[in-house]
Amino acid sequence: MNILKKIQPLVGLATLIALAIGLWYVYQAPADFQQGGAVRILYIHVPSAKIALLSYLFLTAASILYLWKRYEGADILAEAAASVGAAFTVITLASGSIWGKPMWGTWWAWDARLTSMLVLLILYKGLMVLRHSLDDPVKGARATAILAIIGAVDLPIIHYSVVWWRTLHQPPSLATGENTAVHITGPLLPPLLILSVAFILLGLYMVTVKARQIEARRHLDALEAARMHHDE
Amino acid sequence: MSDYTLYVAAVYGLAILVYGGYTLRWRASYKKLEQQRASLSQESP
């Protein structure tokens, strides 16, 4: 996992630059004629939601790789992606709720998009709990990988929920085609696109930081186990 | 039309707190683990 050590500073720097540019565009962007200044919440909400889903996609791929090749690095990346994905899902739900209060008149609605996103958060937390609930780390990793792959069924449900069902949540903000009744265009679009790129970099940076922390913890655990074995 | 400043500030503040907070916490934890590992390696026969 030496590659993480090499790319981390570069990704960190790129993240800071992209975030600074994106926030400058947010500051410059005009208010929306319908939403007023509340449109600025979507610059955090939409990219966070995309990274919450991408993290799970990454986690699923890493889980498949781990079960197939038994490569520990894939398991470390899967564990890191769960923590990072959970953080992005929390912000997605919280920012959506804060946006919903002035726009919809309610903090929460049990519609398909919001509920499937809440299921994603429960999945992330469930994976984290399951991994540490088993004494054998290998069994924990395998059980987590299997649950992660099964849980991937939630991804298309989240993505297409606003198309398949009548929901309070509007259609995709960045999609093209017929399901774009409420979407972000014109001068409101650049901050969203730049922050989307910035959040991809931020997610990647957070995964590298978390993965290195997990790897260090595992090395320390192995060292302590070897030491105890030697003392016996 | 209200500019919803409080709502916007709450979201940006929360994002900084969660993303920044976790990143700093994981970095600090990594450094601490590496120090523990180094000291354990030195003690080991």
Whether residue A179 is predicted with pLDDT greater than 60 in this model: the reply is no
Can you give the pTM of this predicted structure?
A: 0.91
Cα–Cα distance list, A124 to A38, A130, A195, B5 (Å): 29, 10, 24, 31
* pLDDT class of A7 with cuts at 50, 70, 90: very high
User: How many other C-beta atoms can be found within 10 angstroms of the C-beta atom of residue A228?
Assistant: 9
Q: Does the model's ipTM exceed the 0.85 cut?
A: yes
What average pLDDT score do residues A209-218 get? 96
pLDDT in the model for residue B1: 47
Q: Which residue has the higher pLDDT, A159 or A231?
A: A159
Exposure pattern of A60-80 as b/e (b: 16+ CB <10 Å)?
Answer: bbbbbbbbeeeeebbbbbbbb
Mean pLDDT, rounded, of chain A = 90
Cα R_g (chain A), whole angstroms: 20
Q: Which residue has the higher pLDDT, B2 or B42?
A: B42
Instruction: Please tell me the distance from the alpha carbon of residue A181 to that of residue A162, in angstroms, as a whole number.
Output: 12
Contact with chain B for residue A98, Cβ under 8 A = yes
Contact A124, A82 (CB under 8 A): yes
CA distance B13 to chain A (A): 11
Contact with chain B for residue A212, Cβ under 8 A = yes
* pLDDT class of A181 with cuts at 50, 70, 90: very low
Q: Which residue has the higher pLDDT, A70 or A159?
A: A70
Q: Which residue has the higher pLDDT, A18 or A112?
A: A18
Domain ranges of chain B: 1-45
Nearest to A202 among B19, B26, B27 (CB): B19
State the count of interchain CB pairs (< 8 A) between A and B: 90
